Chains A and B, each alone.
Chain A
Amino acid sequence: MRMSGPSFAQRTRIAIHDQRLQGALANASSGLAAKRAAQKAALPEFEALRERAREVKEHVLAHLDGYLERYEAEVTRHGGHVHWASTAEEARNIILEICRQAGAKTITKGKSMVSEEIALNAALEAQGYEVIETDLGEYIIQLAKEPPSHIIMPAVHKTREQVGDLFAEHHRPLGYAKHLTDIGEMVNEARQVLRGHYFRADVGITGGNFLIAETGSSVIVTNEGNGDLTQTLARVHIVTAGIERVVPTLDDAQTFLRLLARSATGQEITSYTTLSTGPRRADDLDGPQEYHVVLVDNGRSKMLGGPFREMLRCIRCGACLNHCPVYSAIGGHAYGWVYPGPMGSVLTPIINGMAAGYDLPNACTLNGRCQTVCPVKIPLPGLLRELRRQQFEDGLTPRTIRFALKAWAMLARRPRLYHLKMRLAIGLLSRIGRSRGVLSRLPLVGGWTDTRDLPAPQGGTFQQAWRARKGGRS
């Protein structure tokens, strides 16, 4: 699924001039980076954990088929069902069929980025199901009819006042008359409203942060406990997860759990870490009667053998978003799809096509901060540059940019001509700008001079001055 409509440039402009969004983004990014830094400082083995996590993921990717088969066998042994979906459409159809066979009317959902990726809610609602997001952030954006703007804090773009207005509008018909402004009161009201839904739900759909091959368990992490209620109170529990979520052992899952919350929200660990293994057993007091896992490929197996394989290490913590200056300038919606920030700029063109996501790999300064905070050491700037290389090869780079590049490279590859031409150009610019120190307007580089002056060249090139100083000897 793709958001249609305005271009990247238009979305960017809207975001930068949206004062409320800018306020929300400023609050979020500075706080999260500091919290993560404090957690890292408090854990001496943090860097060793990152390296261990990278190694485990690399090992899994090298033996992905084996671990997935082992995982499937274990899920089956515990009475669950594994479904394989090679595309988003297949995944939707599998889930629709499970819901149909269950005779479902109401579906609760824990937070799942894969379900956003496959546009599950729209498909379920089109078939007449009542779908209720139970993660507070997801619930807020569901009421607002918006996509998530962050992979772990989907409503990070919303201010307290906006949430108060949304609740007032949607909760009043349910008997909640007060227009709330206090965050604690809002959370309480949402909990009360949601609690009723858990008990009515026929199907509960969650994501899966990790799938453990040796036990057949799926793991979710939440801070609200909504995932537990979603998956234990409904008759049918469906887990949706990408095929790269599998890890070999419980011990390995521990490695990732120690990194995940620290990297994501700057917590040591989330409030809830929940493992589920198959449906309710004969002597269990609760739990679902059916347990399904939908394993989604949707372009992932194609990444395995190519230059973007390392992206499959991603554990969806959001640290790269929280430390990205572009993300914190424009927010998640400007990226146009469900995955924003550095990780989204890599994934979106791969999953949706190079042309669809043209701007994303380019709208990056390659400052590299994302790579330094990634818990599994994904070389995000390198992958973005590889996407640019493929765009250039595929002829997707705009003609004006190609032309300018080629003209510059033609000179840069011919030092004598380069030095001659540059001396002339610099001499001219210097003479124009010298007295003021800057040039305010230059043709062809409006991107610079619309908002910035161009400092005038000092005059003459260094090479020229150096040769003069050395008396013509080189």
Chain B
Amino acid sequence: MRVGLFVTCLADLMRPSVAFAAVKLLEDAGCSVEVPESQTCCGQPALNSGDSVDARAIAKQVIASFEGFDYVVGPSGSCMGTLRCDYPALFADEPAWRLRAEDLARRSHELLSFLVDVMHIERVAARYDGKVTYHDSCAGLRELGVREQPRKLLAGVAGLELVEMQGTEECCGFGGTFCVKYPEISTKMVDDKIAHIEASGASAVLGGDLGCLLNIAGRIRRRGLPVRVLHTAELLAGMGGEPSIGEPQEP
């Protein structure tokens, strides 16, 4: 099975280990993984800022890059939601591209829902000693129905205790460009999220979207709190012991 990895710009630039974790999980599941070099970003910054010209151009680039793969999989509910839910609507006036966009949408999946729903993976061989909580990222949850899949896989991780925090479905305040355009609202929202994380008693928070995780980790580090922040895929790929997001790295 040929899977094209949609790396996502944030994993590519900020945290390659998330993409390597995705590759490991996919290969362990029996997929042959390829990474088209012509991908950059899904185009959300343009799409969500109203710049439909650039959004369409970037969408076409993604569509062309991933033609021919059985599946297109990425470690982000937000980006994969864009491919699945938003691309087809961008081409209302270009029927040929619309068909190609719909074809891409049908083949596109968020990583963990792909592993569970399509590859029928029940369990991954990982160990993590500690109490963790899981933040439901908005796009994955509401656009793609990612909710049970990560919990199912986490339940099989040796040594791991998953505790649910209050308000797990509430937005962390990232929102793409929102967090820099409206920093005070965003900070209030992430502080509310962090209060729930702390109240859960977990020593680490997991999530499926790097945008949310950079936001949460950035605020946690600024406030000097001891909570670790990891992408769910990293933990499931057995990389949960590596420096977490925002932690100092070994030289």
Contacts and interface: CB of A to CB of B under 8 A. Distances in A.
Contacts of A325: 170-171, 173, 189, 192
A81 B210 CA distance: 59
A450 B185 CA distance: 13
Interface string B201-237: 0000000000000110111011000000000000000
B48 A401 contact: no
Contacts of B63: none
Interface in B128-172: 138-139, 142-143, 169-171
B184 A12 contact: yes
B37 interface: yes
A16 interface: yes
Contacts of B40: 411-413, 415, 418-419
A436 B222 contact: no
A448 B192 CA distance: 17
Interface in A333-377: 362-369, 371-372
Given A435-B248, A447-B183, A457-B14, A405 B218 contact: no
B221 A438 contact: yes
A292 B186 CA distance: 46
Question: Which of A363, A365, A409, A463 is packed against the most chain B CB atoms within 10 Å?
Answer: A365
Contacts of B32: none
A114 B20 CA distance: 55
Nearest to A385: B48
Interface in A96-133: none
Of A368, A415, A462, A465, most B-chain CB atoms within 10 Å: A462
Contacts of A460: 16
A431 to B, nearest CB: 11
Interface string B50-83: 1110100110010000000000000000000000
Interface stretch (B93-101, B105-113, B116-124, B174-182): B174-182
Given A362-B181, A393-B50, A438-B221, A455 B12 contact: no
Contacts of B178: 362-366
Contact of B185 (A326, A366, A388, A411): A326
A455 B217 contact: yes
A302 interface: no
B50 A435 contact: no
A329 B189 contact: yes
Interface string B25-50: 00000000001011111010111111
Contacts of A388: 48-50
A453 B229 CA distance: 13
Interface in A1-47: 9, 12-13, 16
Which bucket holds chain A's interface residue count?
Answer: 35 or more
Contacts of B174: 365
A325 B181 CA distance: 16
B111 to A, nearest CB: 14
Contacts of A454: 214, 218
B45 A462 contact: no
Contacts of B184: 9, 12-13, 16, 451
Contacts of B13: 422, 426, 457, 461
Given A326-B185, A329-B189, A474 B47 contact: no
A396 to B, nearest CB: 9
Nearest to B177: A401
Contacts of A474: 37
Contacts of B45: 405, 408-409
A462 B19 contact: yes
Contacts of B14: 426, 455, 457-458
B187 interface: yes
Contacts of A363: 178, 181-182, 185
A455 B49 contact: no
Contacts of B103: none
A342 to B, nearest CB: 12
A455 B41 contact: no
B138 A365 contact: yes
B246 interface: yes
Contacts of A438: 218, 221, 246
B115 interface: no
Contacts of A372: 142
Contacts of A391: 50
A413 B58 CA distance: 6
A426 B219 CA distance: 21
Interface string A439-474: 010000111101111111111111101110000001
Nearest to A460: B16
Interface of B: 7, 9, 11-17, 19-20, 35, 37-41, 43, 45-52, 54, 57-58, 61, 138-139, 142-143, 169-171, 173-190, 192, 214-215, 217-219, 221-222, 243, 245-249, 251
Given A330-B188, A366-B175, 4 more contacts: A388-B48, A389-B50, A413-B54, A453-B221
Interface of A: 9, 12-13, 16, 325-326, 329-330, 362-369, 371-372, 385, 387-393, 397, 401, 405-406, 408-409, 411-413, 415, 418-419, 422, 426, 434-438, 440, 445-448, 450-463, 465-467, 474
CB-CB nearest 6 A-B residue pairs: A365-B175, A392-B50, A447-B180, A452-B218, A388-B50, A462-B16
16 contacts: A326-B189, A362-B182, A385-B50, A388-B48, A405-B51, A405-B54, A413-B57, A447-B180, A447-B181, A453-B222, A453-B246, A455-B14, A456-B249, A460-B16, A461-B13, A462-B7
